[in-house]
């Protein structure tokens, strides 16, 4: 891995490579004595404040266009610009766990800066093909509906799709709790375009849940430059790669929200003058998403499993950004506003969610048969809902009434109180093993709980514990 000496913003290099000639919001045009390479980190300084830029375009033989990685207040024409000699590098150390950092690896939690002599390039290439490993076996999360119907793959990529307010961030927090509690692994959280309030709440909730010591959080906040929101994912991924290589542990890489990464790329593309493509997105959408996704890999040293929250504009799953992200995923968990409206939490839509692991060879005969049985009951209930609403359940055949009753109980059984919300709800969180989920669902499908009231199935752990 490439290393350079620390670039201290307060230390100005000996000679400038040019001056700023134009400032258009977060975009600056620099007249250069020699053109710096694309993605090179440049620097300007005013008194004790420094500004970092990333080169994105060469306009002609003497001018380059760059995106600022700081607020632009104070920038002006004629300001000298200096070459740092490399792309943006960030400090890495095993002591980064438990910290809250920005895109430059600087603390946001009021703590001391990371003490290290090692820096890593955020644009580092992915591991060589012969060093990378494919996806492994099932990675249990302790969440019933996920483990049963859309299981995660160790070293794979999972997307949480949903509109605003359906519970993506809460589900992400529970995954991070499961990684620390069940697998003794570490988590890296990339907050892309997070609201300051959300980031502050999330940080405190992770501390209260007791998993912050095994978590690193990187934030590029909503009020920052689009360059920060565009690159914060790469900074966080660089830390995930370091923890994979240095600690040789299970690493959960969490990105919330990858759609804001796409939005930042679209903003930068417009500022650079590129012609927009489909639905106004940048013409480089596919390659930008692929550049990020293809670095999420496992090696012989350790595994990186990714969970990415994906905002779905207007709940439209055919949106080009959603489609570009979906093509890289092994599992897709769709969160439904209709489910949330019924009080079903997590609001996972089991009939729309899918996983590449859903086959007999990966899951085994028993898991596959139980999952298919649950899906069949839920699908039949969905087909009969309109008839029930118009004519009443009494008009159904006895067999259909039995299926509807079991499907409603399964639907409620797949709800679950989360550990990370126990301080807010007052309900102790619970984690359910896959074996327990399979036992319970088999019992529902056999009819063992046909006489049990529906409310006894709601917001519980395993049925064995609920019926004691």
Residues marked active site are found at 168, 194-195
Please tell me the distance from the alpha carbon of residue 25 to that of residue 185, in angstroms, as a whole number.
41
DSSP code per residue over 279-336: GG--TTHHHHHHHHHTT--EETTBEEEEEEEEE-GGG-TT-HHHHHHHTT-SEEEEB-
DSSP 124: P
Under DSSP, the state recorded for 345 is S
Distance between CA 384 and CA 381 in Å, rounded? 5
**With contact defined as beta carbons under 8 Å apart, do 90 and 120 qualify?**
yes
Other beta carbons within 10 Å of 401: 15
Rounded Cα distance between 338 and 349, Å, is 9
Query: What is the DSSP code string of 175-210?
Result: HHHHHHHHS--EEEEEEEEE-HHHHHHHHHHHHHTT
Mapped onto helix, strand or coil, the DSSP state of residue 19 is strand
CA angle 431/433/436 to nearest 5° reads: 115
């Amino acid at each position: 891995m490439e290393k350079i000496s620390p670039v201290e913003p307060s230390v100005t290099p000996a000679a400038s490579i040019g001056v700023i000639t134009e400032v258009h919001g977060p975009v600056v045009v620099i007249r250069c004595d020699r053109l710096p390479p694309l993605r090179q980190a440049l620097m300007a300084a005013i008194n004790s404040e420094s500004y970092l830029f990333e080169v994105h375009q060469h306009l002609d033989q003497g001018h380059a266009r760059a995106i600022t990685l700081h607020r632009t207040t104070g920038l002006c024409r004629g300001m000298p610009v200096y070459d740092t000699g490399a792309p943006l590098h960030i400090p890495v150390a095993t002591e980064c766990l438990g910290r809250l950092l920005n895109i430059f690896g600087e603390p946001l939690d009021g703590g001391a800066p990371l003490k290290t002599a090692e820096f890593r390039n955020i644009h580092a290439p992915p591991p060589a093909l012969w060093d990378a490993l494919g996806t492994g076996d099932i990675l249990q999360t302790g969440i019933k509906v996920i483990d049963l119907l859309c299981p995660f793959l160790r070293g794979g990529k999972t997307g949480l799709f949903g509109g605003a307010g359906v519970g993506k961030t809460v589900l992400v927090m529970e995954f991070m709790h499961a990684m620390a509690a069940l697998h003794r692994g570490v988590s890296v959280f990339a907050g892309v375009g997070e609201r300051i309030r959300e980031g502050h709440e999330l940080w405190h909730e992770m501390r209260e849940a007791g998993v912050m010591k095994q978590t690193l959080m990187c934030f590029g906040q909503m009020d920052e430059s689009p360059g920060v929101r565009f690159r914060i994912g790469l900074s966080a991924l660089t830390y995930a790669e370091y923890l994979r290589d240095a600690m040789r542990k299970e690493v959960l890489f969490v990105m919330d929200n990858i759609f804001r990464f796409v939005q930042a790329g679209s903003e930068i593309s417009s500022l650079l003058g590129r012609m927009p493509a489909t639905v106004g997105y940048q013409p480089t959408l596919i390659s930008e998403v692929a550049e990020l996704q293809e670095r999420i890999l496992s090696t012989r040293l350790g595994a990186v499993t990714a969970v990415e929250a994906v905002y779905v504009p207007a709940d439209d799953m055919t949106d080009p950004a959603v489609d570009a992200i979906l093509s890289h995923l092994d599992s897709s968990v769709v969160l439904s506003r209709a489910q949330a409206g019924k009080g079903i939490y997590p609001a996972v839509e089991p009939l729309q969610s899918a996983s590449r692991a859903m086959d007999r060879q990966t899951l085994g005969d028993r898991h596959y048969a139980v999952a298919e049985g649950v899906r069949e009951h839920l699908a039949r209930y969905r087909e009969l809902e309109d008839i029930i609403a118009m004519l009443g359940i009494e008009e159904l055949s006895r067999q259909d009434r039995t299926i509807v009753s079991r499907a409603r109980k399964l639907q409620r059984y797949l709800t679950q109180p989360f550990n990370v919300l126990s301080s807010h709800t007052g309900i102790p969180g619970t984690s359910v093993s896959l074996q327990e989920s399979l036992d319970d669902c088999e019992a529902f499908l056999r009819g063992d709980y046909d006489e049990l009231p529906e409310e006894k199935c709601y917001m519980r752990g395993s049925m064995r514990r609920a019926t004691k």
